[in-house]
Amino acid sequence: MIRHFLNPPNWFTSAGMFCGLYAIVLATGVQGEPNFYRAAVMVLFACIFDMLDGRVARITGRGTEFGIQLDSLADMISFGLAPAVLLYAWGIQSLGTLGLVGAFVFVLCGAFRLARFNTEADGTKQDFTQGLTITMAGGTVAAAVMAHAASGRVGVEHPWNVWMLSMVLGVLMVSQVPYRSSKSMRLSRESMTLLALGFGVVLAVAMRYRISTAFIVLMGGYVVSGPLEAVFRRRRVQVVDDEDLNLPNEIQQDPIDIDD
């Protein structure tokens, strides 16, 4: 265990776990009044540490099976439990039992998402992920809470909207909807130009309004991209199949003479 504690990638995983725990403390207000904005910031910091631990493991060559399992457990705390508590305390607590159900669905789907990934992962990076990752789901919750808190509003006026957000994110996590991973981002020069312009617009929005708006645009755009791409790919496949059915029969076969 001492070797695992001294392994650098596990430091970053542990830091993300701490961010998730502290987000719960801030959201529940056990140290005083709840601070939803800072709780959401802690979840986003956990996202950063989650991205760094794998890169540190590859750079140092210290990746282990123990670290992989630890990372999965940390994800459950930082992006499953912490965002669910944040959702409940911030937006759906007023719904009573149904609010608790909404928060539990988010946690449950996140756990199933991680279990599916752990059992099906073969160690290779895929171009697409199966369903929305729990990291992006938790980050989307954090971005929504940040944007709401930064606007100066105290309470949530429409808790059912927050409840629906919890349910939609949960369903997307356990769905078959393909989401692009970083490995699939092989873009042409034209695509890179459009992407740079898009980031420029997001940066302008962040500078003109607030950084939380930029986060919700980025996170929300990624969440929507999966279902949209799935629809477009299905339509493209259907068009190709229809074109194949309408191809002229250019190859004529000679009739077979039974006597021969």
Q: If pLDDT is split at 50, 70 and 90, which confidence band does 256 have?
A: very low
Residues 124-158: tens digit of each pLDDT: 666 678 889 999 999 999 999 988 888 777 778 88
Residue 51, pLDDT > 90, answer no
How far apart are the C-alpha atoms of 89 and 87, rounded to whole Å?
6
- Write down the H helix ranges in 76-158: 82-87, 97-120, 134-150
Q: If pLDDT is split at 50, 70 and 90, which confidence band does 97 have?
A: very high
Within the chain, what is the greatest distance between any pair of CA atoms? 97
Domain 2-244 listed as CATH 1.10.10.60: no
Proportion of the chain above pLDDT 90, given as a percent? 40
Residue 246, pLDDT > 70, answer no
Burial class (CB in 10 A: 0-12, 13-18, 19+), 239: exposed
Query: Beta strands 178-180 and 128-130: pairing type?
Result: antiparallel
Residues 16-45: tens digit of each pLDDT: 999 999 999 999 988 778 899 999 999 999
Residue 109, pLDDT > 50, answer yes
Name 149's Cβ contacts closer than 8 Å, sequence gap at least 6.
36, 37, 40, 212
Which of the two residues, 89 and 225, has the higher pLDDT score?
89
Across all residues in the chain, what is the average pLDDT? 81
Proportion of the chain above pLDDT 70, given as a percent? 76
Residues 167-176: tens digit of each pLDDT: 999 999 999 8
